Amino acid sequence: MPFKLRFHEDHTTGLVAICDVCGQIAMGDDANILWRPSGDEKPGDCHPYVIACRDECTRVVDLKHGHQYSQNLDVALGYLLNNTQTDLERARHTMGLLAMIG
C-alpha cells in the first residue's frame, strides 16, 4: 500500500507515499509512480501501480517487471487533485498553513 497515514513528532498525522521497493518515504520529484498499461485500454480502465522513491528503486522495478511507464510523484499528485475534483483554493490554503507550521 503506497499511501499511508504517518504520525509525526509534532503529533500531527499526514498522508505519506511509501516506496514499494525499499519502504522509505518517497519525496516529490525524486519519486516515480510506475505502471504498465495492457495495450487495449478503454475509458475508465485503471492500472495497478508502484511507487519508487529514487532511480535505484525504479531500476529494481524495471528489472523485475520490464520497462514501466512512469510519472514523477509531484506531477502525479497534480493529476490526482484534478481527477478528484479537489477544491484547489482550499488545497492552497491548507498548503499555506502547512508551510507556516514548517
Model confidence at 50, pLDDT cuts 50, 70, 90, reads: very high
**Does pLDDT of 60 surpass 90?**
yes
- 91, 78 in Cβ contact below 8 A? no
Q: Give CA 46 to chain center in angstroms.
A: 15
- Please state the pTM of the whole predicted model: 0.75
Residues 61, 35: Cα–Cα separation, whole Å: 10
Query: What are the beta bridge partners of residue 17?
Result: 3
Q: Of 49, 36, 54, whose CA–CA distance to 1 is shortest?
A: 49
Q: Of 49, 50, 48, 47, whose CA–CA distance to 23 is shortest?
A: 50
For the residues 77-100, what does the mean pLDDT come to?
Answer: 84
What is the predicted pLDDT for the residue at 102?
60
On average, the pLDDT of the chain sits at 86
Q: Which residue has the higher pLDDT, 51 or 100?
A: 51
